[in-house]
Every structure is written in structure tokens, then in C-alpha cells.
Amino acid sequence: MPTGVALREVRRQLFDAAERVLLRDGPSALTSRAVTTEAGCAKGVLHRHFSDFDAFLAELVLDRIDRMDPQAAALREAAGTGTVTVNLTTALTALFESVAVRLVSLITARDGLRARLRETIPAGVPVLTEGSAMITAYLAAERDLGRIAADADPEMLAFPLIGTTHLLYAGREDAPPDDGAVERIVTTIVGGALR
């Protein structure tokens, strides 16, 4: 690999390369060499910008969590429009058709990565925790608008929505769940609370 080539936005290029490797080949294939090869740069580039590979991976996870902010804002803004079921189905599908499932597998498999993430996110499984917070905020807004029962607990609805949808997507690298599967989850979990 050429070492004299200037890279613009090195962190973004490395993160995007890591995401491509993760999506294409899975968590076990994600190595510093795989990332730098995918990014088209020398291996030393990654180590010039990060203290070690787990530091790189922790920053990758945090970057991908930050990318959920616009999705969370759009979901909150959808409160009171459309149907609760469609809004939740759309949000959950977008979350789990992204790199989220692969990131959860990566976090689970790497002790050093989990330790680094605990410095910033002290509890829960990063990505799933943020997804749950997104769904909780949306359900709270819908409850405030009277579209969810006043006595419904948004957090207790969000946890099974996130967990069950994650289980539906986990291990399905080649084919997404069948059409309607996420909507059936949403209807089953939230249906009794809808007004």
C-alpha cells in the first residue's frame, strides 16, 4: 500500500471501511489490516490516529451511535402523524437494517471494546440502549398526545420492541426477515396500549 498518499477525512474513511467489512464479512473478519486494506491505505494510518484497535472500534461504535440522532429526531417529529404502528415499524426496520446488528455482535465478542465503551456508556449494550431511548422518547410523545394509553410505560414497551426486533434480525446476514415481521412484533407488543 502506498504510504505517501494524503488521506482526507481519515477517520471517516476508516470508519466507512470498517462498516463495509463488518457488513460484508462479519465481526470476526474485522481486523486493522482488513480496515486499512478496505480503505486503501497503509496499516500504520489507523495506528497513527488511534492508540490501538479497540480504541478505533470504540470510536466507530460511538460515531455510528451519533448517526442515530437524526433518525431519533425524525421519529419524535412523527409523533401525532401517521399511525404509531407504521412509525415504529419504519424506525425499527431502519435501525436494524443498518450496521446495528453487526455492531452488537462486535461489542459482545470483544472484551477490550466493551471495556472502552463502558468509559462512555456505563450500562446496557451500546446501540441497543440508544435505540431503546429513541423508541421510549417517541412512545412518551405519543402518550402525551393521547395516542398511547395514559398508563402505558414507554420504556417497558421500548425494551421488548428493541429486544425482539434484534432477535429477528440477528443471524440473518443473507436475507432480511419476511415482509410484515417487524410490524407483527410492533402490533403484538404495543397493540394493547394504542388508543
Closest by CA position to 128, among listed 64, 55, 53, 194: 64
pLDDT at residue 130, rounded to an integer: 93
Residues lower than pLDDT 70 in the chain:
1-8, 173
Question: Who contacts 92 (Cβ-Cβ below 8 Å, separation ≥6)?
Answer: 135, 161, 162, 165, 182, 185, 186
Give this prediction's pTM. Answer: 0.87
CATH architecture of 63-193: Orthogonal Bundle (1.10)
Detail the DSSP E strand segments found in 39-122: none
Tell me the percentage of the chain whose pLDDT exceeds 90.
Answer: 75
pLDDT at residue 4, rounded to an integer: 44
Q: What is the DSSP letter of 171?
A: T
Amino acid in the structure at residue 71: Q
CATH number of 10-49: 1.10.10.60
For residues 160 and 83, what is the distance between their CA atoms, to the nearest angstrom?
A: 19
> Any idea where the domains of the chain sit in the sequence?
10-49, 63-193
> Across-strand partners of 76?
none
Contact in structure between 113 and 57 (CB atoms under 8 Å): yes
pLDDT at residue 9, rounded to an integer: 86
Note the pLDDT tens digit of each residue in 21-77.
Answer: 998 998 999 999 999 999 999 988 998 999 999 999 999 999 999 989 999 999 999
